Amino acid sequence: IYTILEIQDMLREKQTGSRFVHTLGVQYTSACLAMRYGADVEKAQMAGLLHDCAKHMKPEKLLEKSRKHHLEVTHAQERNPFLLHGRVGAYVARTRYGVTDPEILGAVEWHTTGKPDMTLLEKIVFTADYIEPSRDKAPNLSRLRQISFEDLDQAVYEILAQTLDYLKKSPQDIDETTEITYSYYKSLLK
């Protein structure tokens, strides 16, 4: 079992400078959202810190690890193995970084596509990944950052809407989980 500081040191070795800055941004933004919504701040930091712990892996390695450890691979993930970095990340968080908490592991696993009816911690990391301070590409980011601290489900919906919009323009394979998650959060809108 490692402390947050120890895991930071381990990840600093694995990640490029800008990805490590993003990683710390997600750690602290997850902590802030946890404070706002009454989630466990320590768990939020750990999940945010570890969310991209498999992002440096090459596509072949993500596929190989998934097959070797019997992790589910969807069709979209087969064609776009980077989509597996959450699921493989949860595996790595458990086996290499010693995380046993299923809430933390779930937040790492689902941070890219989201999933319907996410736990509070899953929504926090999903949102923090998109709004953390070093992100600058998304449209209307300052408005979305404000909404994230006012209505988390609304923020999750808007992130999915923007992500699908971007994927359809490219165009790229859309994982069915991304679509299903979008419909789910759309149906929750007030």
Task: Name the residues that contact ligand DGI, by CB under 6 A.
Answer: 22, 52, 55, 76, 80, 83, 111-113, 129, 163, 167, 172-175, 178
| Gap between the Cα atoms of 33 and 37, Å rounded | 6
Taking the complex as a whole, the smallest distance from the CB of residue 7 to ligand DGI amounts, in Å, to: 17
Question: How many other C-beta atoms lie within 10 A of the C-beta of residue 176?
Answer: 12
Q: Which is nearer to Fe ion, 56 or 67 (CB)?
A: 56
Q: How far is the CB of 26 from Fe ion (least distance, A)?
A: 6
Q: Is 175 a residue that touches Fe ion (CB under 5 A)?
A: no
CB nearer to ligand DGI: give 69 or 75.
Answer: 75
User: Which residue is it, tokens 């600058």?
Assistant: 136
CB atoms within 10 A of CB 104: 28
**Among residues 129, 131, 148, 175, which is the contact residue for Fe ion, using CB under 5 A?**
129
CB of 137 to ligand DGI, least distance (A): 9
Residue nearest to Fe ion (CB): 129
d(CA 78, CA 111): 18
Per CB under 5 A, 158 contacts Fe ion? no
Min dist CB 52 to Fe ion, Å, is 4
Choose the one of Fe ion, ligand DGI, none that binds residue 71, judging by a C-beta under 5 to 8 angstroms depending on kind.
none
- The least distance separating ligand DGI from the CB of residue 167, rounded to whole angstroms, comes to 5
| Rounded-to-integer distance, Cα 26 and Cα 133, Å | 8
- Cα–Cα distance for residue pair 84/101, rounded to 1 Å: 20
End-to-end CA distance of the chain: 42
Under the criterion CB under 5 A, does residue 52 sit at the interface with Fe ion?
A: yes
C-alpha distances (whole Å) from 48 to each of 8, 15, 30, 62, 135 are 11, 15, 6, 20, 14
